[in-house]
Amino acid sequence: MGEIPTQAKRVFKGQIFDVYQWEQEMYDGTKEIFEKLRRSYTVEIIATTPEGKIIIQRQEQPDSDIAFLSLVGGRIEEGEDPLEAAHREMLEETGYASELWTHLDTYDGSNKVDWKNFIYAARNCEKISEQHLDPGERIEVLFVTFDEFIELVDSHQLKRVCETIREKCIRAKYDPASREAFYRMIYG
């Protein structure tokens, strides 16, 4: 939704967010300081098994007392392309891997935060290893049907789902043609 201008200066470097500021000319000729955050880009994966189940997670993190449901996903590391990150996150968080990947969408939802979330479908995922979780993760792998997935997203029980997928789930719940299109999008 708009990149950080080249003349912007980083005024704060955090673990997840960096803050950039720049002087911006206003329509009346005056100047104001504008500001934007940059966040590590991320991946989000709708992963399916050969039996047609969708892999989700019950996750705990040390900064919260409440477990939450989410899709598989995480941050793209420096030097990694989004698909490489999706493969790595899938294997680390679940122990599952796939050879059938499709880029579904890239969500860029804010004009005040430079952040992209790359959304993939991973089909026919097979378990090939144990989980290799970060020290700040507790993840339980769960399996749901397509209809259960739609209901979990629509009811906001599945917390970390980007808006484009949430919208597709809601449309799929109430419109048969949208349901069929979303199903094909995920399962191929």
- pLDDT tens digits for 95-105? 999 999 999 99
* Tens of pLDDT, residues 49-85: 999 999 999 999 898 889 999 999 999 999 999 999 9
User: Angle at the Cα of 182 (from 120 to 172), degrees rounded to 5?
Assistant: 130
The predicted structure's pLDDT at residue 2: 63
CB-side neighbour CA atoms (13 Å) of 131 = 12
Q: What is the pLDDT of residues 105-154, one digit of tens each?
A: 999 877 889 999 999 999 999 999 999 998 989 999 999 999 999 999 99
**For residue 1, pLDDT beyond 60:** no
Domain map (residue ranges) of the chain: 9-38, 40-187
**C-beta separation of 179 from 173 below 8 A:** yes
Q: Which of 136, 171, 172, 142 is nearest to 157 (CA)?
A: 142
Q: CATH topology for 40-187?
A: Nucleoside Triphosphate Pyrophosphohydrolase (3.90.79)
pLDDT for residue 16: 87
Indicate the pairing of strand 68-70 with strand 138-144.
unpaired
Mean pLDDT of the chain: 94
